[in-house]
Chain A
Amino acid sequence: MTKTVFFGTLTVAGLAAGLASAATLDDVKARGELNCGVNPGLVGFAAPDASGTWAGFDVSLCRAVAAAVLGDPQKVRFVPTTAETRFTALASGEIDLLARNTTWTFSRDTDLSMDFAGVNYYDGQGFMVRQDLGVTSAKELDGATVCIQTGTTTELNLADYFTANGMTYTPVAIQSNAEGEQQYLAGGCDAYTTDISGLASTRAAFADPENHVILPEVISKEPLGPAVRHGDNQWGDVVRWTLNALIAAEEYGVTAANVEDMAANSPNPEIKRLLGTEGELGAMTGLDNDWAKRVIAATGNYGEIFSATIGEETPIGLARGLNAQWTQGGLLYAQPFR
């Protein structure tokens, strides 16, 4: 009984925190800081650098939202969350925004009471193995031991894939990417499976990345995106349109370097509306009209973020692929700023 009461108290405390932040935008403004849930360490997406400053693809999105809402990309408190704790952290109000390689799925959107603000990376699940294993296709992995992060969609995809292909495997349940990396390198598993971007990022941190191959099979669709609590539409809009602003800025050629110049001199009305020199778009979301300008000045546009954190010039070396603009044959397509 005492235990139940204690647990009840905990739950209620957590829920009370969740309720307190029904209007997240006002809370964030009042607090002067954005609480952003990120991966505890996935190089290129979210990881603290040598000086302890968080950097990466997902981190940039947090900074962009902070720039839009608070006017300062540095006013972010990064909360490292594991695959298991992330949804609870969001539901309880511990974080305002979850930008953590989270796959947008039906049940998460509905049953878990989350809202996805969009897709910032189109990914798919793959396998990484040692080169000397001599495996060239995922179909040859029958009987293999596979490291898998628990509490993820990849865990379910893995089970489906092996069942569908009539193969068996031994799962090794791991809690974090760091643990998976350690187990995989120690030979605790033959293959490591997660989103291909995650594999590339993990491999980039190895001492001998050339001895590991990512198999060609992509066994699932993993649209990764930022998530917010369900029911707070205003806050959801702010995050959605911040992401759209980053994507649209790349489409229209607005960069961190030329954003001031574009705002002053661009003849294109869509750019004018985006950057706030024309119309009142900012006010409609509860922000000021310069919000998008601040975002782009702070983090650069989507393409700039991509190439600085995970692009082909970085050790992670991901090609744009599906994540190119729709005009370049990719899937990125920002809704019009009108």
Chain B
Amino acid sequence: MANAVDAPKDSFRLSMLIYDTRYRSLTIQVIVLMLFMAGAAWLVDNTVRNLAVLGKDFNFGFLGQRAGYDIAQRLIRYTNADTHARALLVGLLNTLLIAFLGCIAATILGVIVGVLRLSSNWLVARLMTVYVEMFRNVPLLLWILLVFTAFTEASPLPATFRVNAQTGEAESSMLFGLFAVTNRYTAIPDVLVERGLGSLALGPLSINLTFLAIVAVIAGSLLARRALLRHATAVQEATGLRPKTWWKSLLILILPIAVLLWALGVHLSVPAITGFNFTGGVNVSNSFMALWLALSLYTSAFIAEIVRAGILAVSRGQTEAAFALGLRPRRTMSLVILPQALRVIVPPLISQYLNLTKNSSLAIAVGYLDLRGTLGGITLNQTGRELECVLLMMLIYLAISLVISGAMNVYNARIKLKER
């Protein structure tokens, strides 16, 4: 229409920031953000000023200084002449080791317990209920201490494995002649390589070529097996008959690595008691075993409940339909139920992995030197740099958690319902 006029254009007035609903929420957000940043700035400024008054500066130079202390369990070469940064790395690797092994054990245990708790066998289901309730309702620290005490009090001293000169026999004997459970550690055989491939030095890092070769061969075998299975599926889809693959996949998995190990001259070195302690093998300390066991058992109780919830979330009709198609219970579980249940299971599982990783800092209770024990314990004490150490430690834990969470999110994206 010709006589239509534009709506009167309001000129912007300052009061509109409060009274105009178009701007109000933005105003409030900006103000809150400014207040928050001012508060944060005040805290930082206050800390810096107070540190200056106490005569303490804020720097990370101490990381380059000589650490001077020893660490019993180390995955990389470390002596007391190395730096605090190296000690930090040793502790970090110990944390990662316990987190990695803990997550694996907790997942395996948790899935088994979760599935069994739904078993139609009354006794098994009730036993699993007891397991879950027992482990998740007692503080983790108490479990760690209990397992540690059980190890230290109930197992024999290393000295009792020594052969007595008069009687000609030892008080305690090793399991299968390979393992020795003592009140300090479990001595297990070490794997030695006779003809190693040496290592490749890349600046501060050195890569063990032997280890690399083994990993490469295993990865190659797995890839080859996948190709084999894909081929079998293609044949099945074309002809309706699935060729037998089990002996081929066994061969593919075992033969190459066996040949490689033989070529490298890999053999076991059995621990033996010499002097005060077992030598020649690997001594896995009781603090590590206690922490690993307690963390796995505790977290597995939570994972079991997550798995049970996931399975129950798949409607009963799915099972009945699968049975009606003639699928056996095991195939029903692996082909119908679990793939759907995983969508429900994985997101809360991420939280459990994060919990386990962060809970591993309770290692301090049994003297396992993880990140908290090295950087946040001894280094902090010997250097007196509380603020720097704690901030750095928080940053590292944050980074670990974000990496775990990121990796699991990728996995979650792969298995979640594909909506088209």
**A residues with CB within 8 A of B:** 1, 3-5, 7-9, 11-12, 15-16, 18-19, 83-84, 87-88, 91, 107-108, 111-113, 141-145, 150-151, 155-156, 158-160, 162-163, 169-175, 183, 186-190, 230-231
Find out whether the CB atom of B68 lies under 8 angstroms from the CB atom of A160: yes
Top 7 closest A-B pairs, CB basis?
A: A151-B381, A15-B50, A159-B80, A8-B43, A173-B367, A112-B384, A143-B275
Q: Which stretch, B27-35, B195-203, B224-232, B385-393, touches the partner chain A?
A: B385-393
Question: What would 10 A/B residue contacts be, using CB atoms closer than 8 Å?
Answer: A12-B46, A87-B381, A91-B54, A145-B184, A150-B381, A155-B382, A159-B69, A160-B80, A173-B378, A231-B55
- Identity of the chain B residue whose Cβ is nearest the Cβ of A10 in the assembled complex: B390
Find out whether the CB atom of B72 lies under 8 angstroms from the CB atom of A172: yes
CB neighbours (8 Å) of B81 from chain A are: 163
Find out whether the CB atom of A156 lies under 8 angstroms from the CB atom of B382: yes
Find out whether the CB atom of A19 lies under 8 angstroms from the CB atom of B43: no
CB neighbours (8 Å) of A159 from chain B are: 68-70, 80
> What's the tally of chain B residues with a CB closer than 8 Å to chain A?
49
Find out whether the CB atom of B50 lies under 8 angstroms from the CB atom of A155: no
Q: In whole angstroms, how far apart are the Cα atoms of A183 and B81 in the complex?
A: 27
CB neighbours (8 Å) of B386 from chain A are: 88
Q: Does B170 contact A (CB under 8 A)?
A: no
Q: Does B47 contact A (CB under 8 A)?
A: yes
Find out whether the CB atom of A174 lies under 8 angstroms from the CB atom of B367: yes
Per-residue contact bits, chain B 319-339, to A (CB 8 Å; 1 contact, 0 not): 000000000000000000000
Find out whether the CB atom of B56 lies under 8 angstroms from the CB atom of A113: yes
Q: In whole angstroms, how far apart are the Cα atoms of A188 and B159 in the complex?
A: 11
Find out whether the CB atom of B377 lies under 8 angstroms from the CB atom of A150: yes
Nearest CB of A to B72, in Å: 5
CB neighbours (8 Å) of B398 from chain A are: 3
Q: Does B394 contact A (CB under 8 A)?
A: yes
Nearest CB of A to B54, in Å: 6
Would you list which residues of chain B between 361 and 420 have a CB under 8 Å from chain A? Answer: 364, 367, 369, 373, 377-378, 380-384, 386-387, 390-391, 394, 398
Q: In whole angstroms, how far apart are the Cα atoms of A142 and B274 in the complex?
A: 11
CB neighbours (8 Å) of B210 from chain A are: none
Find out whether the CB atom of B54 lies under 8 angstroms from the CB atom of A18: yes
Q: Does B39 contact A (CB under 8 A)?
A: yes
Find out whether the CB atom of A11 lies under 8 angstroms from the CB atom of B387: yes
Find out whether the CB atom of A230 lies under 8 angstroms from the CB atom of B55: yes
- Identity of the chain B residue whose Cβ is nearest the Cβ of A190 in the assembled complex: B276
Q: In whole angstroms, how far apart are the Cα atoms of A3 and B395 in the complex?
A: 10
Find out whether the CB atom of A172 lies under 8 angstroms from the CB atom of B279: no
CB neighbours (8 Å) of B387 from chain A are: 11
Nearest CB of A to B56, in Å: 6
Q: In whole angstroms, how far apart are the Cα atoms of A1 and B391 in the complex?
A: 12
Find out whether the CB atom of A186 lies under 8 angstroms from the CB atom of B152: yes
Q: In whole angstroms, how far apart are the Cα atoms of A141 and B275 in the complex?
A: 9
Q: In whole angstroms, how far apart are the Cα atoms of A83 and B378 in the complex?
A: 10
CB neighbours (8 Å) of B43 from chain A are: 5, 8-9, 12
Q: Does B83 contact A (CB under 8 A)?
A: no
- Identity of the chain B residue whose Cβ is nearest the Cβ of A150 in the assembled complex: B378
Would you list which residues of chain B between 126 and 166 have a CB under 8 Å from chain A? Answer: 152-153, 157
Find out whether the CB atom of A113 lies under 8 angstroms from the CB atom of B157: no
Find out whether the CB atom of A156 lies under 8 angstroms from the CB atom of B68: yes
Q: Does B351 contact A (CB under 8 A)?
A: no
- Identity of the chain A residue whose Cβ is nearest the Cβ of B379 in the assembled complex: A151
Find out whether the CB atom of B277 lies under 8 angstroms from the CB atom of A143: yes
Question: Which listed residue, A19, A169, A170, A183, touches B53 by the CB 8 Å rule?
Answer: A19
Report which residue of A83, A163, A187 has the largest number of chain B beta carbons within 10 angstroms of its beta carbon.
Answer: A187
**B residues with CB within 8 A of A:** 39-40, 43-44, 46-47, 50-51, 53-56, 68-72, 79-81, 152-153, 157, 183-184, 274-277, 279, 283, 286, 364, 367, 369, 373, 377-378, 380-384, 386-387, 390-391, 394, 398
Find out whether the CB atom of B381 lies under 8 angstroms from the CB atom of A175: no
Find out whether the CB atom of B276 lies under 8 angstroms from the CB atom of A143: yes
Question: Which listed residue, A143, A163, A187, touches B274 by the CB 8 Å rule?
Answer: A143
Question: Which listed residue, B68, B183, B390, touches A188 by the CB 8 Å rule?
Answer: B183
Find out whether the CB atom of A151 lies under 8 angstroms from the CB atom of B382: yes
Find out whether the CB atom of A170 lies under 8 angstroms from the CB atom of B367: no
Q: In whole angstroms, how far apart are the Cα atoms of A69 and B307 in the complex?
A: 65
Find out whether the CB atom of A11 lies under 8 angstroms from the CB atom of B47: yes
Nearest CB of B to A56, in Å: 24
CB neighbours (8 Å) of B391 from chain A are: 4, 7
Q: In whole angstroms, how far apart are the Cα atoms of A246 and B158 in the complex?
A: 49
Nearest CB of B to A10, in Å: 10
Nearest CB of B to A128, in Å: 15
A170/B72 contact (C-beta < 8 A), A83-B381, A143-B276, A190-B276 known: yes
A144/B50 contact (C-beta < 8 A), A163-B81, A169-B70, A170-B72 known: no
CB neighbours (8 Å) of A175 from chain B are: 364, 367
Not counting A84-B377, A155-B378, A231-B55, a sample of 9 additional A-B residue pairs whose C-beta atoms are within 8 angstroms of each other reads: A7-B394, A11-B387, A87-B381, A111-B383, A143-B275, A162-B70, A171-B70, A183-B152, A186-B152
Q: In whole angstroms, how far apart are the Cα atoms of A67 and B114 in the complex?
A: 65
Nearest CB of B to A14, in Å: 9
Q: In whole angstroms, how far apart are the Cα atoms of A283 and B310 in the complex?
A: 77
Find out whether the CB atom of B394 lies under 8 angstroms from the CB atom of A171: no
Nearest CB of B to A178, in Å: 13
Find out whether the CB atom of A151 lies under 8 angstroms from the CB atom of B377: yes
Nearest CB of A to B261, in Å: 30
- Identity of the chain A residue whose Cβ is nearest the Cβ of B44 in the assembled complex: A8
- Identity of the chain B residue whose Cβ is nearest the Cβ of A155 in the assembled complex: B69
- Identity of the chain A residue whose Cβ is nearest the Cβ of B182 in the assembled complex: A187
Question: Which listed residue, A12, A83, A142, A162, touches B275 by the CB 8 Å rule?
Answer: A142
Question: Which listed residue, A1, A3, A156, A171, touches B71 by the CB 8 Å rule?
Answer: A171
Q: In whole angstroms, how far apart are the Cα atoms of A174 and B70 in the complex?
A: 13
- Identity of the chain A residue whose Cβ is nearest the Cβ of B51 in the assembled complex: A15
Nearest CB of A to B415, in Å: 31
CB neighbours (8 Å) of A150 from chain B are: 69, 373, 377-378, 381
Q: In whole angstroms, how far apart are the Cα atoms of A91 and B51 in the complex?
A: 11
Question: Which listed residue, A12, A183, A187, touches B157 by the CB 8 Å rule?
Answer: A187
Q: In whole angstroms, how far apart are the Cα atoms of A188 and B72 in the complex?
A: 13
Find out whether the CB atom of A19 lies under 8 angstroms from the CB atom of B50: yes
Nearest CB of B to A91, in Å: 7
Q: In whole angstroms, how far apart are the Cα atoms of A5 and B241 in the complex?
A: 64
Q: In whole angstroms, how far apart are the Cα atoms of A187 and B286 in the complex?
A: 13
Find out whether the CB atom of A187 lies under 8 angstroms from the CB atom of B390: no
Q: In whole angstroms, how far apart are the Cα atoms of A173 and B288 in the complex?
A: 13
Q: In whole angstroms, how far apart are the Cα atoms of A187 and B267 in the complex?
A: 32
Nearest CB of A to B111, in Å: 32
Find out whether the CB atom of B381 lies under 8 angstroms from the CB atom of A3: no
Nearest CB of A to B157, in Å: 4
